[in-house]
Amino acid sequence: MHPTLNVAVKAARKAGDIILRYHNQIEVLTIQNKASNDFVSEVDKAAEDAIINELKTAFPEHSILAEENGEILADKHFQWIIDPLDGTTNYLHGFPQYAVSIALYENNKAIHAVVYDPFKEELFSASKGQGAYLNEQRLRVTQTQGLSNTLIGTGFPFKTPQYLDVYLSTFKAIHPKVAGIRRAGSAALDLAYLAAGRLDGFWEIGLNIWDIAAGVLLVKEAGGFVGDFSGRDQYLITGNVVAGNGQVFKAILKTIHPYLSKDLQR
Ligand code: IPD
Ligand code: CA
Ligand code: CA
C-alpha cells in the first residue's frame, strides 16, 4: 500500500472508532436529551477532527476540504476531500449502512481513496493506477451487458425536493428494465459496492463533492465508468452522477436522458 494511502486508512480507522463508540450510546443519549441531530453532529465533528489531525500531522502542506470544517487552504495542488460520516440518517436510526470517506486529489484528479464501513469492518481503498481493494481483495466491476438482470443503486433527492418529480420519472424509466433498485443511504458505499460488483450501476441527482470524491476512484480503479448526466466528467461540480460497468453506464445515461430537465443535463 502506498504510504500516503496508509495515512488515509489510519485516519479513516480512527474516525470509524469514534463513530462506533457513539453508535453504542445513541439510544441512551437520545432518550436523555432528545438532541439526536446535535448528537450526530458531535459524532461527525469528532470523527472529522480526528481525520484532519491525522492528515495535517503527516501532510501539513496539503489543503483540505471537509464537510463540517469547510476549506483549509494550503498547497493548492494537493487537496484532501473528507466526509467523516456518509449516511448520517442511517446512523441516527441505527441502520448499519454508513462510512467514512477520504480522498486525495492532485491537481483536481483523484489519486488515493478510502471508504471505510466501521460496522462491517470493510475497508475499500484505491490508488490511481494500482486497482481497488476491499480489505486485501482486488475488486472488479460486474460484466453484465445492458440493464436486464442488473441491481442498480440510487439516492432520493431529499435535500433538493425541487428535483423529486424529475427523479421519479428517471426512476420509472429505469425500474422496468432492471432486476432491482436499492436506496441504501450512503453514496460513498453505493460507489464502493459498485466497485466490488455488488451493484451493476448507480445514479443520483445533486450529491456533494465529499459524498463521491473517494467512491469515484474506487469505481474507476475497479474498471468502471463514472460521468455526469451528459456522460462527461463534470460530476464533482454538478453532483449529478451516473456510474457502472461500461455497458450499464451507457444504458443508464440513455434511459434517463429523455426525462432530465435542461439544468440537469450535465
Ligand atoms: C448523504 C448520503 C446519501 C445521499 C445524500 C447525502 P450524508 O450524505 O450520501 O446517500 O443520498 O444526498 O447527502 O448527509 O449522510 O453525509
Ligand atoms: Ca455525505
Ligand atoms: Ca456526512
Say how many C-beta atoms besides its own lie within 10 A of residue 250's C-beta: 18
Whole-angstrom Cα Rg for the chain: 18
Is-above-0.75 flag for pTM? Answer: yes
Which atom of ligand 1 approaches the CA of 90 most closely? 15
Mean per-residue pLDDT pooled into runs of 10, the chain (266 residues): 96 97 71 42 89 97 94 91 94 93 98 98 98 97 96 92 94 98 98 98 97 98 98 96 98 97 84
- Same fold yes or no, 3-138 and 151-265: no
Cα separation, 22 vs 35, in Å, equals: 14
To test the pocket of ligand 1, the residue of 97, 102, 194, 211 to mutate (highest count of ligand atoms within 8 Å of its CB) is 211
Strand 180-182 with 201-204, pairing:
unpaired
The domain locations on the chain are: 3-138, 151-265
**pLDDT at position 28:** 59
* Domain 3-138, CATH among 3.40.47.10, 3.30.540.10, 3.90.1150.10, 3.40.50.300: 3.30.540.10
Top CATH class of 151-265 equals alpha beta
The CA-CA-CA angle for residues 33, 34, 40, to 5°, reads 100
pLDDT at 108: 96
What is the 185 CA–ligand 1 centroid distance (Å)? 6
pLDDT of residue 33: 41
The rounded Å distance from CA 235 to ligand 2 centre is 15
Output the CA 263–ligand 1 centroid distance in Å. Answer: 21
